[in-house]
Amino acid sequence: MLLEVFLAALISDLATGLGVLPFLFINRVGPRWNGLAAAAASGMMLSASVFALADKALHRGNALEVIVGMLAGALFFSWTAGLIERQHWHLGTWDEAESRKSILIIATMFVHSVPEGIAIGVGYATGEVKFGVLLATAIAVHNIPEGTAVSLPLRARGASLWRCAWYAVLTSVPQPILAIPAFILTSFFQPLVAPSLGFAGGAMIFLVMSELLPDSLASCSRSETAWGVTLGLVGMLAFTAAIGL
């Protein structure tokens, strides 16, 4: 089972690199397309957070545990994202101004991958393999547009496809690293399952509301963003139903 958990998390990580595929056919991707991708990713993540993580958490613990876990996840993501934004880092030979957006996206996605890795491990720790597969697949699916989001500012400044793919995969490295410890921990301490699922869901919801949706609205009309979120959410919900969870 440990090998299966690790492979599921590793595949989820590598899926982020698939976000560079559009650049094989399009040299310059407009902001509108990026906004639509962010909206669709938001819908998928909200679906996974509410219909998978929170719902399963409520079946594993009481509402208070889940609420506290979700609030802790949101607080953790908010604090770490704010901390990252105040740093003065740069990528390679790019100056601070040129690097800021790329670093913020990379670092934010990296932090966001922490609860995703925990979610995969906890999902398998519930003892329901189908649920673990669902979570890993759902995270892998929405990792693809996240990889595109990471690649966009890099590609706009002339970064190669391989470099874009490398940074994209790097942002999801916490997933295979943390999935195994999370699986082992919650296997022995089942009371942690519910708040851990809530933690992951809360962090994902906060990322959607604070980062992805504002980016989408800045590039698309409200109607386009709403449709993107709706289609992403319904598509992920349909996938959940197809698996038979």
Integer Cα distance of 11 and 120 in angstroms: 11
Q: Is residue 27 one of the residues assigned to a domain?
A: no
Amino acid at 226: A
Q: Is residue 173 one of the residues assigned to a domain?
A: yes
Q: Is residue 110 one of the residues assigned to a domain?
A: yes
Q: pLDDT grade, residue 35 (50/70/90)?
A: confident
Q: Which residue has the tokens 């999370």?
A: 182
**Looking at 103-112, 179-188, 214-223, 226-235, which range is the least confident one?**
103-112
Work out how many domains the chain is built from and give that number: 1
Q: Whole-number mean pLDDT of the chain?
A: 81
* Closest by CA position to 198, among listed 37, 41, 36, 76: 76
pTM over 0.75: no
Domain, as residue range, for 229: 2-20+32-243
Query: What are the pLDDT digits (tens) for 96-133?
Result: 666 666 777 777 778 768 777 887 888 888 777 787 88
C-beta separation of 212 from 38 below 8 A? yes
Q: Is residue 124 one of the residues assigned to a domain?
A: yes
Q: Is residue 132 one of the residues assigned to a domain?
A: yes
